[in-house]
Copies of this chain bind each other. A is one copy, B any other.
């Protein structure tokens, strides 16, 4: 997954260890409509805690190595076919090598990130491996930009300082410059200037080869949103601003998985026409699905983020700071917030889906992406461990 707000480990396309095989998955009757999953019972609300600084150290003793977060409303994913996963990974590796996207010294984490498994889980209706690979390229590019430009903790040059300058040029790698021919030529060379830029530029080129111009424009807009979200998060980190919970959630609607979800129709080989996509109610279910799955990322990456930086902002941290409660209470509240958003997505998308087969297909694609992304988080024990809260 693109995990826009969290530390993204360096990826390598030459795995040092074999890809972690997908764990056995429960059979699903139909890929189209996953069977309803009854969430595990919600734990009783924790007792009130006296106000005071949260104690990250206590929270960071993981006892559960993986599996779904108790009480988190989610749907089972369509299992990922190992052969398809391996083929996507093989193609991504060749692509990264061809364009020299990152130095050889960064080997070691491609297997851990599981790009191929991610996109296969997220796009069960993909037309073919080519489109899955295109989705994987975009995902890899998003992670490279985040890792190399944004995330200071990763030591690859990322820092909040000056980030706006780097991200406006990164945006220009997918949103063409138009001017005098000589300047256009400098732009064309310039947006090949480093691995993150090359990865955006090349991935966009491949996506635009099968997406319609409207679908490409949709993606470009969603990456602009993502970059604004990165810049909001970076500014708050730099100025040590403690956002209110609604402000954090608004920022996170920008620093969001949205660029991955809004390509579901293109990857599945059809187009939700732009005049339909632009309608407020379709925008709303899109945003709800994107926000639900983005909060899932905050929850699964919580211990990882706090281990790297105890002040790292995420939803539980924002709740704890604003409500002056402990991190455990805040975490459980964040699960509730997720479940509300997920319920709103499911209810409202069901209503809309009943009005049009095309909207039904699109809503199904969004739901499948959310389910696949949840499965990836819940099973990726290389990256994620749950806190000691149950």
Contacts and interface: CB of A to CB of B under 8 A. Distances in A.
Interface of A: 161-169, 171-172, 175-180, 183, 186-187, 190, 212-214, 216-217, 220-221, 224-225, 227-236, 238-239, 241, 243-247, 249-251, 253-254, 273-275, 278-280, 283-284, 287-288, 291, 337, 340-341, 344
Residue of A161, A164, A254 with highest tally of chain B CB at under 10 A: A164
A311 to B, nearest CB: 16
A233 to B, nearest CB: 8
A230 B322 CA distance: 30
Contact of A340 (B167, B180, B280): B180
Contacts of A228: 164, 167-168, 171, 224, 227-228, 231
Contact of A235 (B163, B220, B229, B233): B163
B246 A161 contact: no
Residue of A190, A228, A247, A287 with highest tally of chain B CB at under 10 A: A228
A180 B235 contact: no
A11 B57 CA distance: 52
Contacts of A249: 177, 179, 183, 187
Contacts of A245: 183, 186
**Copy count, this protein chain:** 2
Nearest to A180: B340
Residues of A contacting B: mostly: helix
B275 A225 contact: no
8 contacts: A164-B235, A165-B236, A168-B251, A171-B225, A172-B253, A179-B340, A180-B344, A213-B278
A28 B29 CA distance: 70
A183 to B, nearest CB: 5
A230 to B, nearest CB: 8
B254 A165 contact: no
